[in-house]
Structure 1
Amino acid sequence: MTENLDSPENPDNLKNAGNAGNTENAGNTGNTENAENAASTGNGGAGRSPDGAPRPTRGRRWLTAFVIFLLIAIPAGYIAISAEQSRDSGQNKEQEAASTGLYNDWPSRVQMRTYNVPVPGQISSVYYYETNSWKTSSLFVQFRTNDLGLRLFLQNYGLERKDLKSGRVTISQEQAAKVGWDFGGHRQWGGVVHEQPSPEPSQAITVNLDEAGYPIVYVVSTVRF
């Protein structure tokens, strides 16, 4: 009987088949390793410099520049807006004072302390107004008092009633116009200026002495920056 050499049961055929399979598997394994190595190399080299350190991307550089721009632009813009609002507010206050006159009230304690205008307790009426600008801030105060109140007020500046120069108006027309003060006419005026070095406030004091025993005091205290 002749043996079928092509039969799968032939030991030589089985051996040859096994060897072929091993060779194919080895080839597949090699291909897989090569693919993994290529992928690893691609991932590692894309964002790194030759020495292995990460390279900054364009997106990151752009974001950093944008953040720096915001840090500079936002504060500068805020300062400009605040200054403009302050200027507009000062103009509005001047218009209001010119149309309605001084505020019939006491200045706050902070205002009196800041501008060094200690309104005495011996008064029958008091008015005030404050202005602010780029270079100066001023507090306008008007009050009627008695001889004792005038003496105490002047003492705060190291002055006496005799220091009031007869016929002298120490408040300028421009300042007077802001609050509707009129220093014209035939009246008994007495005035003195208390000068202080900046940033201390200086006071221009003018007193109406028409009514004996009840003087009216006008003060403009100015702080220069």
Structure 2
Amino acid sequence: MTVPHQSTPSRDPRAKLPEDRRHMIRRRWLTAVTIVLLVGIPAGYLVISAGQSRDSGRDKERESSAAGLQANWPSLMKRRVFEVPVPAGAWDVAYYETSNWKTSRLYVQFTTTAGGLDAFLAESGTGRARLTSGRITVGDRDAEIAGWTFGDGATDATAAGTTGGTAWAGTSVLREEPRPDTDITVDLTDPAFPRVYAVSATSP
């Protein structure tokens, strides 16, 4: 006798899933969430970091592309990095910074007192005795970049003490790498209130 085929009764969709099936679905969800977190969080940090770096680069670019000297004090960090210790109480302070893949330069000018000049030279690692009368240590290219004019004076130690009525004196401070080298030229026409021009260069 043929037994009639009995179909498998359909499962009520409202019925609970078997325990192992629920564990499998839960594991899949946890795996998916973990992947999203592992991929999404670092990607978010990268986007934020890239935006901050871009903004920082734009700020530096705007500063470096400013036309000539800025009538302001360079930041304390810049003064430390380039070892240009502008003396306290100096006035008519201005600076300009340039940077490329090879060299970074800080151009600084200021007026100070005789005592302020001595303090500046001492903190720079030199002294008034090292200033050579008539010597202009800032090169033509650096002078042009900063917008400085030193007249037609020679740039060696045998030059005359004055150039075009201006009493120049200069020295160069050479330091061991990676510390910067600094060219210092001083206008001593009024010895009581010397005017200092300094160019400090370092490799990034």
1:220 aligns to 2:199 (yes or no): yes
Does the C-alpha gap of structure 1 residues 222 and 84 become closer, same or farther in structure 2, counting only changes over 3 Å?
Answer: farther
After superposition, give the CA deviation of every residue in 1:156-211 in whole Å (9 maximum; x if it has no partner): 133112323553424672x545543345533435131242543x5x2513213351
Does the C-alpha gap of structure 1 residues 61 and 48 become closer, same or farther in structure 2, counting only changes over 3 Å?
Answer: closer
Do the aligned partners of 2:124 and 2:173 also contact (CA within 8 Å) in 1? no
1:149 aligns to 2:116 (yes or no): yes
| % same residue | 27
Do the aligned partners of 1:205 and 1:217 also contact (CA within 8 Å) in 2? no
Deviation at 1:139, TM superposition (A): 4.2
Do the aligned partners of 1:170 and 1:191 also contact (CA within 8 Å) in 2? no
- Give unpaired runs (5+ residues) of structure 2: 1-10, 154-162
- Choose between structure 1 and 2: higher helix proportion: 1
1:27-66 pair list within 5 angstroms: 42-48=17-23, 56-57=27-28, 59-66=29-36
1:140 aligns to 2:107 (yes or no): yes
Does the C-alpha gap of structure 1 residues 184 and 62 become closer, same or farther in structure 2, counting only changes over 3 Å?
Answer: farther
User: 2:87 is matched by which residue type in structure 1?
Assistant: P
Q: Which protein, 1 or 2, shows the higher relative CO under an 8 Å CA cutoff with sep ≥ 6? A: 2
* CA RMSD after TM alignment: 3.6
* Larger CA Rg, structure 1 vs 2: 1
TM-score, reference length from structure 2: 0.64
SS in 1 for 2:51: helix
Residue-pair matches, total: 177
Q: Partner residue of 1:191? A: 171
